[in-house]
Amino acid sequence: MLKPIGESQVVNSVGDMQPMGELIGEEGGGRIVAQFGNLNRLKQMRYLEKVEKRCARQYGMLGNAIDSVAVLEEARRRATVTGAPLRPAENAKGVGDDVENLEKLYDLRFEHHEYCATPFLNQNAVDSIDASRFWAVLIGIDAYQENPLRGCVSDALLMKSFLTNDLGVPEGRIQCLLGPNNPGDPKSTPTASCANIVDTLYSLVHSPEIDRDDNIVIYYAGHGSTYCCPEHPHAVRCRSGLCPIEALCPLDRDTQDADGKWIPDISDREINNLFKRISLAKGNKITFIADCCYGGSSSRGLGERSMRTTENASLQDMLHAADERWKHSGDPSKYHSVLSKDWKPYMGSHVVLTACKNFETAKEEQGHNGFRGVFTWALVRALRSSDWKKKTTYVDLIELLDRSLSGQTPIAAGKLKGKRLFYQTT
């Protein structure tokens, strides 16, 4: 049992006892009421973290850092799989209690984050952002015919909430393309189809409302995939120069359009060419955030954001479709074909933040209000915290996330990744 807390001491943000006077400081006692209101939550969290550590030890998962997602998933597996072997220290009721306790710990961590982050949001950093010069395209897809997901739409809406409520970006400057599992949801239109995604990104090039050097945020949560030549299905790189190629998976992938053609994925080459074209017209203050991975294995588990390539549309189909779209969208003389053997990505147009390395998986988890992407939730948590300073760069942000994620190593890429978040200059 924890000892009662005396009136002269409180639990600080890391769960240690600290004299009340040190927390009050010069600002007086206004904050101390909130501190006492948080004591029970902190006491519960400290107890439940001991449960989590015990479970990790029992499951053989105790290392330098505990993978909370993996421990909870293993507890759920042991509680639900009939005939699952139990160690001497376990019994069916005990495993069920562990699941309940670990789920409660997740909820408390979420609530504790909301308590800590919101009052101490670094308004100096936020106030330096000119929200009137922000534009966003937010894509979230759950309702795939194969391997549906559960947290991508909520992730896109979480990003929208951050942009509107925290940064003050007007809703009219944000376009959402969603694919919810509930087709009756009014927020499902426009859908995140291949045509809608590509057309929306192309529209940024010619939009008269977007001024040069405005901030453009493009967010994607959904499946990713990786394509290789038929002759080299498992090659790291082949002589043709075409593979491997990563791709985003639209909602209607591998279905037929009105002309009977199979709809392919959207290659990273086309996305890169689009970003370059947007930057030529609107400047290079473009941030691309991708909560997906590209492993593409058929053995991926539930809640992992990658899937195998399309069965009916080939790699060549995907690249030819990109070429055709480009030819009908503007001046083809400035276009470097995605089919070219010497094609190389242009990384001076944008900064990309990705959920994990190539060999890792981007995961979903059960959160306080449903499923969510581990990367997106950590990203928004960091952006809403006092860790975000005026001088924080994209690289700094990734380092913050890397300390809070387990099993995923987020990446920042692009020639401008050393710039301040959202390209602040003041």
Q: How far apart are CA 70 and CA 219, in angstroms?
A: 26
Whether 152 and 287 map to the same domain: the answer is: yes
The three-state secondary structure class of 54 is helix
Whether 137 and 56 map to the same domain: the answer is: no
Whether 207 and 334 map to the same domain: the answer is: yes
Looking at residue 16, what is its pLDDT? 42
In a domain, 5, yes or no: no
In a domain, 145, yes or no: yes
Q: Show which of 94, 117, 140 is a domain's final residue.
A: 117
Interhelix angle 374-383/394-404, nearest 10 degrees:
120
Looking at residue 81, what is its pLDDT? 64
In a domain, 10, yes or no: no
Q: Inform me whether the pLDDT recorded for 323 exceeds 70.
A: yes
Whether 130 and 105 map to the same domain: the answer is: no
DSSP letters spanning 320-338 = HHHHHHHHTTS-GGG---T
What mean pLDDT do residues 309-323 have?
93
In a domain, 381, yes or no: yes
Whether 317 and 203 map to the same domain: the answer is: yes
In 88-203, beta strands by DSSP E: 134-141, 174-179
Tens of pLDDT along 65-75? 677 767 887 88
Q: Show which of 98, 117, 136 is a domain's final residue.
A: 117
Number of domains the chain contains: 2
Confidence (pTM): 0.70
Whether 185 and 51 map to the same domain: the answer is: no
Tens of pLDDT along 148-183? 999 999 999 999 999 999 999 999 999 999 999 876
In a domain, 13, yes or no: no
DSSP letters spanning 125-154 = HHHTS-GGGEEEEEEEE---SSS--SSHHH
Q: Show which of 117, 151, 184 is a domain's final residue.
A: 117
Supply the mean pLDDT for the chain. 79
In a domain, 412, yes or no: yes
Tens of pLDDT along 235-244? 445 555 566 8
Interhelix angle 39-58/68-80, nearest 10 degrees:
70
CA distances from 33 to 30, 113, 122, 156, 171 (A): 6, 17, 21, 35, 35
Whether 288 and 368 map to the same domain: the answer is: yes
Q: What percent of the chain has pLDDT over 90?
A: 45
In a domain, 176, yes or no: yes
* Cβ-contact 212, 287 below 8 angstroms: no
Q: Inform me whether the pLDDT recorded for 297 exceeds 50.
A: no
More confident residue, 16 or 209: 209
Whether 404 and 260 map to the same domain: the answer is: yes
In a domain, 278, yes or no: yes
Looking at residue 305, what is its pLDDT? 76
Whether 362 and 257 map to the same domain: the answer is: yes
Q: Which DSSP helix (H) or strand (E) runs through 124?
A: helix 123-127
User: Phi/psi at 218 (nearest 5 deg)?
Assistant: -120, 120
Which residues form the domain of 54? 38-117
Closest CA to 98 of 61, 54, 42, 68: 54
Contacts of 181 (CB under 8 A, 6+ apart): 142, 143, 148, 150, 153
Tens of pLDDT along 338-350? 888 888 889 999 9
CATH number of the domain to which 384 belongs: 3.40.50.1460
Characterise 407 by phi-psi region: left (phi > 0), alpha (psi -120 to 50), beta (else): left
The three-state secondary structure class of 251 is coil
Whether 133 and 108 map to the same domain: the answer is: no
Looking at residue 395, what is its pLDDT? 95
Burial class (CB in 10 A: 0-12, 13-18, 19+), 286: buried
Whether 221 and 86 map to the same domain: the answer is: no
Q: How far apart are CA 159 and CA 153, in angstroms?
A: 10
Whether 129 and 113 map to the same domain: the answer is: no
Q: Residue 215: count other Cβ atoms within 10 Å of its Cβ.
A: 23
